[in-house]
Amino acid sequence: MYKRVIIALDVDSLEETKRFIFPEALIYKVGWRLFANEGFRVFDFMNKKGKKVFLDLKIGDIPSTVEASLKKILTFNPYMITIHAISGAETIKRAVVLRNETNRGTIILGVTLLTSLSDKEVRKMGFCKGIEDAVNRLTEIIEEAGADGVVCSPMELEMISSTKLLKITPGIRLSVPSEDQKRVASPYEAFQMGADFIVVGREILTASDPRRRFFDILRDAGFLDFAG
């Protein structure tokens, strides 16, 4: 069950990541912050550690541009990659076709809405019926385009419970939510609501004992009966 908890490496360098590489953790999320500083060296580093990379760049562009970018990315054998659903169904479809032709082991995820967005902000973006309407529409696009999974906040998991897509959710907190993530839940709540994977960043990155905090996450999720 450990592999269902993904650690988000929201740091600036590979040197910093060493503190958070635990024997028990398998999948690590690499976003723009680390990738902008270290680039594709991340893959060599994580491969040597025996870890899988969830490359979370939330790729969003016209189909041909995304396709050209993925040709390079897929050669590094990422475990997961993200494409923003706002890019449209054709962009996701082209990504899926390319993946099927080159690297079937990579999981393609569509991103719905960032966890930093409030219902008011989503309505201002043009989704007049708010978060639920936006997430349902974007999830339909992701599923129809043939992606493997969807990234959404834990608060939207029950809204899309009927989808067969894998559900990956960030916004996981053991304590009080932070100011920049409004739609959050505990590990236990997220899995109870239907998450297949949870992504945990600052809960672990800011802990005085990161590995013990990782075990606290596992325990809260119901995977352990002790702290580790």
Task: Say how far apart CA 26 and CA 2 lie, in whole Å.
Answer: 7
Catalytic annotation, residues = 58
Dihedral sign for Cα 102, 13, 86, 66, please. negative
3-state secondary structure (DSSP) of residue 66: helix
Task: Work out the end-to-end distance of the chain between its first and last CA atoms, rounded to an integer number of angstroms.
Answer: 14
3-state secondary structure (DSSP) of residue 208: coil
**Whether pLDDT at 81 is above 60:** yes
pTM: 0.90
Q: What is the pLDDT of residues 148-207, one digit of tens each?
A: 999 998 888 999 999 999 999 998 988 655 555 555 789 999 999 999 999 999 899 999
Strand stretches in 80-210, DSSP E? 80-84, 107-111, 149-151, 166-169, 197-200
For 190, phi and psi rounded to 5 degrees?
Answer: -60, -45
Cβ burial, residue 80 (10 Å; 0-12/13-18/19+): buried
Arithmetic mean of pLDDT, 43-70: 96
Q: What is the pLDDT of residues 106-157, one digit of tens each?
A: 999 999 877 677 778 778 777 767 888 888 889 999 999 999 999 998 888 9
Return the closest-CA partner of residue 152 out of 183, 125, 130: 183
Residue type, 52: K
DSSP conformational letter for 185 = B
**Whether pLDDT at 209 is above 70:** yes
Q: Count, in order, helices (H) and strands (E) of the chain.
A: 10, 8
pLDDT of residue 227: 43
Domains of the chain: 2-221 (3.20.20.70)
Pick from 3-12, 51-60, 92-101, 110-119: least confident: 110-119
